[in-house]
């Protein structure tokens, strides 16, 4: 499929950004695209997903390509897969080399069988490559550095340019609209699989290539399984909620959105109470996201808002600072507040080299720990869950257990779990929320009412 927009893909700009992060003034950057792989003992192909860094540097979604960039002369070179006449019967006649060069924004285009001669003609002293790409047939004269490019391209990918933000905004618009259709159509008695199918169908119909990740459609207690992917149970109980975590991938860019809403027309009292706390967590974090703040502080902010909310519900007790110091909320939100997002759903660059994870409940699984800067993209996805095994661990940990009223927990156990997840871009002054699906309680109940009219 051609690039999603009619504009030229900014391949060269992405090479320039990568070379800047690399800090090299000469040498050649060389990257290979992915190839199709088949299931063992079968001719069934895995659905092809392009190598993420190769996509960033080329814009090519087809298998069998490569690309290079001569740093000193700032020359971006595309190596296209050659399609024989016999193959063209099966896959179609490809665009010409020059058409491909122009569409992806390269200075030159050749076929992959000319990689060695084209690279050799550049006479590079050094070739920067990625350790997971083959460096065979690049010519023998240059020294090949497979150490430095990875961090450089990861760092370049962390900062989204206007082209990338436009695609991510569109991926979010498509996926937000699909979430809203589910909210509008789902009825008690439907199966989780029907919701997943409806979501995927809508995302594909609007131009997404695939789910950015395995969708989670979890009703009631299933939402307490964080990566629930069975998606095969009936929405039996109108007083329960269903959690839908799903996003389409558009032109290789992920969206990652979660909504949780009642199976019936309105939230039960228990569901509404927990939902309100999670919504407050999410809104506080989105309000706080701004340049130069630390991502891990957003996690702690969410925990503090949760602690306040759960104290008000009588589920937690004691001093807020003590609750925070003992990571009590980590037993209810065992995952991190969010992650970088881009070509990969869990995008690269969350832990710059030398940054360590924090070993504490909840924080342990935080997928990014760094200063927020303009053009970074994050998910903001607080949640609260009632996971039996984790609650048992809390009960067995006196310093934590003293802050929890387990009788109140029992009252809310049937809620299962709530998560609300949007995708944001850090701006010069704060952040821009790409996700447009309703999440306010009144909005949701108004939409859910239409399902039963």
Residues that bind a second copy (CB under 8 A): 1-2, 34, 39-47, 49, 51-53, 85, 88-93, 130, 132, 150, 191, 193-194, 196-207, 213-214, 222, 225-228, 230-232, 334, 344-346, 348, 387, 389-390
C-beta closer to a second copy: residue 122 or 414: 414
Q: Nearest approach, Cβ of 451 to a second copy (angstroms)?
A: 16
Q: Nearest approach, Cβ of 193 to a second copy (angstroms)?
A: 6
Q: Nearest approach, Cβ of 293 to a second copy (angstroms)?
A: 25
Q: Nearest approach, Cβ of 421 to a second copy (angstroms)?
A: 16
Question: Distance (Å, rounded) from C-alpha 442 to C-alpha 21?
Answer: 46
C-beta closer to a second copy: residue 47 or 428: 47
C-beta closer to a second copy: residue 288 or 451: 451
Q: Nearest approach, Cβ of 345 to a second copy (angstroms)?
A: 6
C-beta closer to a second copy: residue 41 or 428: 41
C-beta closer to a second copy: residue 72 or 93: 93
Question: Distance (Å, rounded) from C-alpha 103 to C-alpha 388?
Answer: 53
Q: Nearest approach, Cβ of 390 to a second copy (angstroms)?
A: 6
Percent of the chain as helix, strand, coil, to the nearest 5:
40, 15, 45
Burial of 15 per CB tally in 10 Å (0-12, 13-18, 19+): buried
131-149 residues labelled b (16+ CB within 10 A) or e (exposed): eebeeeebbeebebbeebb
C-beta closer to a second copy: residue 144 or 193: 193
C-beta closer to a second copy: residue 40 or 354: 40
Question: Distance (Å, rounded) from C-alpha 414 to C-alpha 411?
Answer: 7
For 285, 355, 363, 421, the CA distances from 296, given in Å and listed in that order, are 11, 12, 8, 17
C-beta closer to a second copy: residue 208 or 289: 208
In sequence order, what E strands does 164-222 have?
Answer: 210-211, 216-219
Q: Where are the alpha helices (DSSP H) in 382-437?
A: 388-395, 398-401, 406-412
Q: What angle do CA 429, 435, 438 make, to 5 degrees?
A: 120
Question: Distance (Å, rounded) from C-alpha 223 to C-alpha 207?
Answer: 29
C-beta closer to a second copy: residue 60 or 348: 348
Q: Nearest approach, Cβ of 194 to a second copy (angstroms)?
A: 4
Per residue, the 3-state secondary structure of 272-335, as one string, reads: HHHHHHHHHHHHHHHHHCCCCCEHHHHHHHHHHHHHHHHHHCCCECCCHHHHHHCCHHHHCCCC
Q: Nearest approach, Cβ of 222 to a second copy (angstroms)?
A: 8
Q: Nearest approach, Cβ of 253 to a second copy (angstroms)?
A: 13
User: For residue 59, which phi and psi values (nearest 5 degrees)?
Assistant: 80, 5
To the nearest 10°, report the CA torsion of 365, 371, 372, 378.
-20
């Amino acid at each position: 499929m051609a690039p999603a927009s009619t504009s030229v893909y900014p391949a060269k700009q992405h090479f320039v950004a990568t070379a800047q992060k690399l800090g090299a003034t000469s040498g050649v950057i060389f990257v290979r695209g992915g190839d199709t792989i088949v299931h063992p003992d079968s001719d069934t192909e895995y659905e092809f997903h392009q190598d993420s860094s190769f996509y960033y540097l080329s814009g090519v979604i087809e298998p069998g390509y490569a690309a290079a960039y001569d740093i000193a002369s700032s020359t971006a070179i595309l190596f296209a897969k050659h399609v024989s006449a016999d193959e063209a019967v099966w896959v179609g006649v490809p665009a010409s080399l020059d058409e491909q060069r122009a569409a992806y924004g390269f200075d030159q285009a050749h076929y992959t069988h000319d990689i060695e001669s084209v690279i050799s003609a550049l006479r590079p002293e050094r070739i920067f490559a990625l350790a997971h790409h083959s460096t065979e047939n690049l010519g023998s004269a240059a020294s090949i550095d497979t150490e430095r490019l990875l961090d450089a391209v990861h760092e370049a990918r962390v900062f989204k340019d206007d082209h990338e933000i436009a695609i991510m905004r569109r991926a979010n618009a498509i996926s937000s609209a699909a979430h809203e259709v589910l909210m509008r159509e789902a009825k008690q008695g439907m199966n989780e699989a029907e919701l997943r199918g409806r979501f995927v169908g809508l995302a594909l119909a609007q131009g997404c290539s695939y789910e950015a990740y395995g969708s989670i459609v979890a009703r009631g207690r299933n939402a307490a399984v964080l990566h629930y992917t069975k998606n095969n149970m009936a929405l039996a109980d109108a007083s329960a909620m269903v959690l839908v975590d799903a996003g389409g991938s558009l032109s290789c860019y992920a969206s990652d959105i979660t909504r949780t809403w009642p199976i019936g027309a309105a939230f039960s009292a228990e569901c509404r109470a927990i939902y309100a706390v999670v919504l407050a967590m999410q809104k506080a974090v989105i309000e706080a996201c701004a340049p130069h703040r630390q991502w891990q502080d957003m996690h702690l902010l969410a925990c503090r808002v949760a602690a306040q909310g759960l104290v008000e519900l009588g589920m937690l007790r004691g001093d807020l600072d003590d609750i925070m110091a003992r990571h009590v909320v980590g037993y209810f939100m065992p995952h991190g507040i969010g992650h970088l997002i881009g070509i990969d759903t869990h995008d690269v660059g969350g832990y710059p080299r030398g940054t360590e994870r924090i070993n504490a409940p909840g924080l342990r699984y935080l997928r990014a720990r760094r200063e927020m800067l303009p053009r970074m993209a994050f998910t903001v996805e607080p949640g609260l869950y009632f996971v039996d095994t984790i609650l048992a661990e809390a009960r067995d940990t006196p310093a934590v257990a003293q802050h929890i009223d387990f009788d109140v927990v029992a009252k809310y156990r049937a809620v299962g779990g709530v998560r609300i997840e949007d995708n944001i871009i850090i701006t010069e002054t704060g952040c821009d929320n790409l996700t447009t699906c309703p999440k306010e309680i009144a909005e949701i109940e108004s939409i859910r009412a239409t399902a039963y009219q």
